[in-house]
Chain A
Amino acid sequence: MDSALIPKGLKRCSIGKFYLGIALVGAVVLWGVYAMLLVWIKGLNQTNMNDSYGFALWIWADLGIIALGGGAFFTGFLRYIIGKDELKNIINYAVVIGFVCYASAQLILGIDVGQPLRGWFIFWHANVHSMLTEVAFCLTCYFGVLVIEYIPLLLENRQIDKVPFFHNLGHNMHEIMAIFAATGAFLSFFHQGSLGGVAGVLYGRPFAVREGLFIWPWTFFLFTWSAAAFGPCFTLFVTRLTEKITGKKLVKQNVIDLLAKIAGWMMGTYIIAKIIDTWYWATVTAPSKGFTFMDFYSDNSFYGIWILIAEIVVGGIIPALILLSPKGRSNSTALFTAVSLACIGVLINRWVMVLQVMAHPVMTFENWFLYVPSWQEVATTILPVAGGIIVIALSYRYLPIFPQEKELNP
């Protein structure tokens, strides 16, 4: 039964080994589900969120995985709209990774809202002056697009493809995929941006607030830009990790090189814009609110200047320089280091824009508010990661995700 589902001509590990791995990750899923049920049944008192931390670990995780999942929309944009045809060899995997990331974000939000049964309120009783409303709209619509992009992959399973209706449906969906990809790019541009915009319009929070263009603070554009830059790095990171785990080459070097080069240029230009933004904020915006630059990085036990250096230099400039260099891209160790640092860099950026914003005191009589998440928050944040590993493992085993796999592994 199992071998009949595996794509023809491709080799996979034994069923026992595969399901042993799934069972191990499944145990982590069960731990997360237990914590999730505790939150749903007992309420948000299971978390360490408080009046200072309405946004906490979950929102950081959401912003982080949405940025990392940006590889799907940007690779789709490059493949279907710009016409980078070589990327057809990695777009399937980018879609699977994007699907996992956005499903994870939805799950975490479903836990974070406390009353998921009222989740539909945001669509029907929408506050049309809120950036988060736009995020909710675009996030759910884009998840719908990712499901639509994932369905043809499912329909390509060896057994499902034998059913004429499913074969025709998959074929038709492939034919108009450019329309879905364009819709996805449009939706992603706005929700990635609005997630940044939320921080930038916090006028009572001098650490986050930014000037901007019309109604959009600069963080709006920086978030979209960074998702397009760092999302493909996560796609490359997971692809390389999959190659290491399976012991196979799955994507040709010219495809990796092209995506890495584009990510490098996006990251290089982004980091210049980020440095200018930070410099302007430090020298003009923050002083205009009565703060000096070092007020945001001193008098507490955690948030030092190191976090800014880690974000911009270690997680931005260094990976950008490696990805912009042909030698760096051709060396698999350097490339893997660069994409790993890039992923860490964007996660630090999202951490800073969510949690350091909450931590910094805005009143003269206040101290820094430091926060440690509860085990329930940690478990429910790890839950979608473990679930994502299972979805990716099943997809790789039973679907023809990598068009070049057979050629590269005769």
Chain B
Amino acid sequence: MLPFSFEWVWDLSHIVFMGGLHYALTIISLGMAYCILKAVVDTKQGKGGHHH
């Protein structure tokens, strides 16, 4: 549920519950995005190829 959903109410319960969910999802997504993007950059720079 997002704030623009018709069920949304600006009360403490919605803010705490949904805020907590989106907070956790944001950390997980940003963390993974960082790892993947950095891996692309590292690979382009030739890192990690010592196994060949």
Instruction: Determine whether the beta carbon of A168 is less than 8 Å from that of B43.
Output: yes
Residues on B lying within 8 angstroms of A by beta carbon are 1, 5, 7, 13-14, 16-18, 20-21, 24-25, 27-28, 31-32, 34-36, 38-40, 42-43, 46-49, 51-52
9-residue interface stretch from A158-166, A276-284, A322-330, A387-395: A158-166
State whether A180 touches B28 (Cβ < 8 A).
yes
The number of chain A residues touching the other chain, given as a range, is 20 to 34
Q: Count chain B CB atoms within 10 A of each CB in A161, A171, A190 and give the residue with the most.
A: A171
Q: Given that A125-B1, A172-B42 are known contacts, is A164 also in contact with B47, CB under 8 Å in the complex?
A: yes
Chain A residues contacting B38 (CB-CB under 8 Å) are: 168, 172
Given A123-B1, A172-B34, A176-B35, A183–B18 Cβ distance below 8 Å? no
20 A-B contacts (beta carbon < 8 Å): A123-B21, A124-B1, A125-B7, A128-B13, A128-B17, A137-B24, A148-B28, A162-B51, A164-B46, A164-B48, A165-B40, A165-B48, A168-B47, A171-B39, A172-B35, A172-B39, A176-B34, A179-B27, A180-B28, A183-B27
CA distance A186 to B21 in the complex (A): 12
When C-beta atoms are compared, the residue in chain A nearest to B13 turns out to be A128
Whole-angstrom CA separation of A133 from B34 in the bound complex? 29
Q: How far is the CA of A159 from the CA of B1 in the complex (A)?
A: 42
Q: Are A169 and B51 in contact (CB under 8 A)?
A: no
A54 CA / B22 CA spacing, docked (Å)? 30
The listed residue with most B CB atoms (<10 A of its CB), out of A138, A165, A171, is A165
Residues of B within 8 A of A113 (CB): none
A65 at the interface (CB under 8 A from B): no
Q: SS class of chain A's interface: helix, strand, loop or mixed?
A: helix
CB closest residue in chain B, given A177: B31
Q: Chain B residues with Cβ under 8 A from A186's Cβ?
A: 24
Shortest distance between the CB of A120 and any CB in chain B (Å):
11
A176 to B52, CA, bound (A): 26
Within 8 A of B (CB), among A159-217: 161-162, 164-165, 167-169, 171-173, 176, 179-180, 183, 186-187, 190
Assuming the contacts A124-B1, A126-B1, asked whether A165 and B28 have C-beta atoms less than 8 A apart, the reply is: no
Chain B residues whose CB sits within 8 angstroms of the CB of A173 once the complex forms:
35
Contact B43 A148 (CB under 8 A): no
* Residue interface bits A340-359, CB-to-B below 8 A is 1, else 0: 00000000000000000000
Given contacts A144-B28, A148-B28, A179-B27, contact A126 B17 (CB under 8 A): yes
A180 near B31: Cβ-Cβ < 8 Å: yes
B5, chain A: closest CB distance, angstroms: 7
Residues of B close to A144: CB separation below 8 A? 28
Is the CB of A134 closer than 8 A to any CB of chain B?
yes
The majority secondary structure among interface residues of chain B is helix
Contact of A168 among B17, B32, B48 (CB under 8 A): B48
Cβ of A161: which chain B residues have Cβ within 8 Å of it? Answer: 51
Residues of B contacting A320 with CB < 8 Å? none
Q: How many Å from the CB of A137 to the closest CB on chain B?
A: 5
Residues of B within 8 A of A126 (CB): 1, 17-18
A129 within 8 A of B: yes
Instruction: Collect the chain A residues with CB atoms within 8 Å of residue B17's CB.
Output: 126, 128, 133-134, 137
A141 at the interface (CB under 8 A from B): yes
Docked Cα-Cα span, A129 to B13, in Å, equals 7
A96 proximity list for chain B (CB < 8 A): none
> Once the chains bind, are B21 and A169 in contact (CB under 8 Å)?
no
* Inter-subunit contact A179/B39 (CB<8 Å): no
Judge if A94 is at the interface, Cβ distance under 8 Å: no
CA of A254 to CA of B39, assembled, Å: 35
* Shortest distance between the CB of B37 and any CB in chain A (Å): 9
Q: In this assembly, does A256 line the interface, its C-beta being within 8 Å of a C-beta of chain B?
A: no
- A267 located at the interface, meaning its Cβ lies under 8 Å from any Cβ of chain B in the complex: no
